Each structure stands twice: as C-alpha cells, then as structure tokens.
Chains A and B, each alone.
Chain A
C-alpha cells in the first residue's frame, strides 16, 4: 500500500519536472517583459509537430532532432518578438493579450489543417520503456527521471545565464527599468528579442520531452499553457527555482487526482492552484 502511494508521489514529482519545462520559458518572459504569451502552449505543440516531421520523415532520432530545432526555435522567438509583439508591448496589456490569443487560435487551426486532428506521439525507443527500481517495490521510468533532471539542469542553467553573464545582467536591467535602459543605450528592443529567443529555446526543449512523454494533437496547446501558468503563479512570479517548486506541487496534485480518473487528474491540479491562489496569492517563492 505504501509502495503504491510512494510510486504515485514519485510519478507526481517526475511529472512536475515536465511541467517545470513547460513553465520556465513563460516565467522568463513574464518576468522580463511583463507579459504572458497566451500562445505559449501552442508553440510547444507546434515544435512537437516539427520534431515529428524530422523524426518520421527524415528518420532522425529525437535527441538529435531537438538539438537541430533549438537554433531555429531561437530565431522564431527572436523574430516573433522583434517584428510582431514589440509593436504591442507597452503599458497597454490588452493588446498583447489579444494578439497572443489570436496567435494561439491561428496556430491551433493551422496545425489542424496541416496535420489533422489525430493524436500523435514520438517514440522514445528503449529509454521510454526502461524503468529504474529503487527498492521496496518503488519503480520509476528512466525517461521520467531524465526529464526531471533536464528540468533541474535547465533551471540552473537559466539561473546561471541571468546572474552570471553579461547578457543576463542586461536582461535583468531591462526588466528592472526599461526606460532607463533605453536612456543609457541598452536597446530594450534587442534585449526583449533575445529574451524571447531564449524562451523559445526552452519551449523547444519542453517539446522534445513532451512529444515522447505523451500524445499531442493540435488542440493540446491550451492545456499546456494553463499548466505553465499555474506553475509560475504557484511558484511565485519572477522566480525560476519557484517554478520547479510550483511544477512539483502541480505534478503531485495531479498524480493524486489521477488515482480516480483523467478528469479528476486535471481538476485536482486546478483546485490545488485555486487553493494556493486563495491562501498565498504571491506564490511559494515570490520575487515581487
């Protein structure tokens, strides 16, 4: 009995790693540019389909495919911010919400037209089915562990980037005071574009893992956005490590709810989110 619950808990924690991957990019843009890209989840799905093309049409293995996609992802994010979103960034959040919302719908339906509504999945080969036995009847999927480790590594890496590099200092400066940055010759337009590019790299990494973890279809974007959103709000806006904590909380909540059925799995996540919002609206590790 203990083993069953321990397994569930562990699954939840590992799931939290996946959820952290979804959220980390959203946390960066929310912290730096102070807006939430409603199409975030849809971009994850879009890259899943790109990876599908690379792996199925060209027969490239998933890891290599993800690595190939990374620089293109950076470019997409950079261009998206520089030429579309930059035009609506500013005091009026309404426009950003509307534009990214419209983008979300366009991507979903574009993918629907292009690929059809059937769920897809990329095979992870041996890594997907291998399990690691931790003793006392507790088992964990190898792929799940790798995903969790990747999440931790990514959070640490972004932390390093932001706090130990020149570009990181510039990103933090722009996020502190965008007008002051412009006044001293620090081009906020360019920095925002770089930050979005970095976000899209994290989106590509998230896509790399989630395309193997579970099925995806054109309509899978919104649920990914809602998960990322709940993770960053619970973790505390602006906190990278908080996202990891938020992810784990959400993952565990879903794992417990998932004991009953899939609807309860998702509902449990939403309910825990609302409870945290009610009791501790600033999140677990708030920055602001």
Chain B
C-alpha cells in the first residue's frame, strides 16, 4: 500500500502547490515572482509541445514561430495601434492561430521528421520576415513603450502581480484545456492513434481531424505566451522573440526529461529546468551540452522520461486522465472473464 500512500501525498502536494500559485504575489518577493512568471510561460510552451509530440504524434521543432508571432502581434496591437493591452493578449493568440492555418496546410504535406523540419523552415522564414518590419525595429528590434507597461499597474509590485496572474491564468487554462481534451472522445482517439494508427482508423477515429485540431489549438496558446514573454522581456527583436533555443530547444529537452506523453511530464521537466538553471547558469555552452546528453540518456533508458520512471512504482497518474470502468462494472467484468476462462479450459 506504500506506493498508493505516496501517490496520495503527491496529489495533496500538487493541490497545495496550485493553491500557493494562485496567491503567489502575496507569498513571494519580486525576484521570485518574475521567475514564477517565466515558469508559467515555459510551462505553457511545454504543455503545448507535449500535446502535439506526445499525444498527437506531431513532432515539431518550429513552435518558436508562434511565440514570435504572438510577441510581434502584441507589440503591433499595443504600441502601434494603441489598443487595450489586456485585450491584445488574446488577440495575439488569434493572430498566431491565423498564421497557423496556412502553415498547417503546407507542413501537413510532410510526415514525421520531414514535418518537424518543415515547421522549422516556416519559423526561420517568419523570423527573417519579422526582421524586415521597420515599425518593429527591423533587424535589431525595439523596446515596448513604457506607457504600455504602466497600463498593467503603476506600482511595480502591482505590475508584477498582474503580469504573473496573466501567466498563471494562461498556464491554468492550458492545463485545463489539455485535461479535458485528453479525456474527451478526441483524446481517447489520440491515444488509440498513438498506439496503433491503423487500428485507430479502423474503429472510426478521425485521425486527420484530431491532428488538425491539435495543431491549430496549440497556436493561440503559443501566441499568448509570446505576448506575456514580451511583457517580461520588454522588447521585441527577431532573434529573441523567435529564439529557437529558448522556445523550442529548452522546451523539448524539458518535456523529454520530464516525461513525454504524460500530463505530469511537462510540469516536472519545467521545474527541473529552472532548478538546473540556477546551478548551471555560469556554465554557458556546457549547460546545453549537459541537458542534451541527459536527454539522450533518458530517452535510451526510459522513453517516458522521469515521470515514466516514477510511474513504474506508482499505481496511477498524479492527475488521472485514463478512463477506468465504473465501480459497478468492475466486479461484473471480473466474473465474466473468469467464467470465459473456465469454459475454454474445459
């Protein structure tokens, strides 16, 4: 019973952590709050990449495209058009969604690794195109006007709190969206598809529809994350807003290490990233070398990552996604199976 006890403790801990995150601005100082906001954005990116690669079988290495698009859209709405900054965030998500449509039309003509690199090509193109946009500062980018930032709160503490809650809100919505999607018909179909594509198609899972939904569904979240990241970085610039290292490479490493294809994996991976960053900050290139090596080792040992290793001991997921037969169904099913076995043996 010990593993089940540990599971319940972990669940309680997780619930407590979520509560703490809700009231974080009252619990943590400014520096930590900034870090937590960053954590929330990275978490959103991780959840989205994991949804595509771990569940929908669409590996991408170009999601930084939508982060950049979101960032640039946010700047456009607020600094250039002067629209309401709070409203501009979901609008940025909308722009990312719009860009995702033709992108999907193109890259879905490719499969697997080719699709992945195709998304990278699109990201490169968008980054280069962004560098041509003069109102956005062209190649060197430009800063977010102070007036925009002040709209989130005159006092620094208020600003940090509001921006944090936006980040937390986005992360919470992302997690809820993922949770309900995975528990829905589409989600079950995705898991079936992941296990056996032909079999899934044979039982009527509309694979194309599911993949389109997932690909397009992640874009707005990536875009909104881009907007929030811009609020923290206070600048837009092609290499920073469209940074493959920050918004794709690290994210992939985090999810792989934490556990791809699970709900808990992206959370664990992102936490580890921040912990490691504190210690490995001074190492420069070695930071990435170590993360990369660690990722390869994890993939070779347990492709479901650290959560996969933990799951070998625990009886169930932290956040149960899989459907189980109802309590009334279980004893009946057991009895029926026993009877069937008796018959064939006779």
Q: Which A residues are closer than 8 A to B by beta carbons?
A: 35-36, 38, 84, 87-88, 92-99, 101-103, 105-106, 108-110, 112-113, 222, 225-226, 229-230, 233, 237, 263, 266-267, 270-271, 273-274, 277-278, 281
Contact = CB atoms under 8 A, between A and B. Distances in A.
B39 interface: no
Question: Most chain-B CB neighbours within 10 Å: which of A87, A226, A237, A270?
Answer: A270
Given A226-B124, A273-B121, A98 B295 contact: yes
B110 A233 contact: yes
A273 to B, nearest CB: 6
Given A266-B128, A267-B125, A267-B128, A113 B117 contact: no
Interface in B111-161: 112-114, 116-118, 120-122, 124-125, 128-129, 131-132, 139
Contacts of A278: 105-106, 109
A106 B113 contact: no
Contacts of B292: 102-103, 105-106, 109
Given A97-B59, A101-B252, A270-B124, A226 B285 contact: no
Contact of B299 (A93, A98, A112, A274): A98
Contact of A38 (B57, B110, B117): B117
A106 B106 CA distance: 30
A233 B256 CA distance: 28
B212 interface: no
A126 B129 CA distance: 38
B132 A225 contact: no
Given A98-B256, A102-B253, A277 B109 contact: yes
Contacts of B295: 98, 102
Contacts of A87: 300
Contact of B114 (A36, A95, A101): A36
Given A105-B249, A226-B120, A93 B296 contact: no
B108 to A, nearest CB: 10
Contacts of B120: 222, 226
A93 B124 CA distance: 23
B10 to A, nearest CB: 27
A277 B125 CA distance: 14
Contacts of B109: 277-278, 281
B276 interface: no
A105 B254 CA distance: 14
B48 interface: no
B101 to A, nearest CB: 13
Interface residues of B, number: 43
Given A38-B61, A270-B121, A278-B106, A94 B53 contact: yes
A95 to B, nearest CB: 6
A4 B293 CA distance: 49
Nearest to A105: B292
A99 B285 contact: no
Question: Most chain-B CB neighbours within 10 Å: which of A99, A102, A225, A266?
Answer: A102
A110 B285 contact: yes
B288 interface: yes
Contacts of A99: 296, 299
B8 interface: no
B117 A225 contact: yes
Contacts of A109: 285-286, 288-289, 292
Interface string B78-118: 00000000000000000000000000011001101110111
B193 to A, nearest CB: 13
Given A38-B117, A97-B113, A274 B300 contact: no
Contacts of B105: 278
B117 A226 contact: yes
A233 B260 CA distance: 28
Contacts of B260: 94
Given A38-B113, A38-B116, 7 more contacts: A88-B300, A103-B296, A110-B285, A226-B117, A263-B128, A274-B106, A277-B109
Contacts of A36: 113-114, 117
Nearest to A106: B292
A275 to B, nearest CB: 9
B235 interface: no
Given A38-B61, A106-B288, A277-B118, A95 B299 contact: yes
A95 B132 contact: no
Top-10 shortest CB links A-B: A109-B285, A281-B109, A36-B113, A102-B292, A106-B292, A270-B125, A93-B112, A105-B292, A109-B288, A112-B285
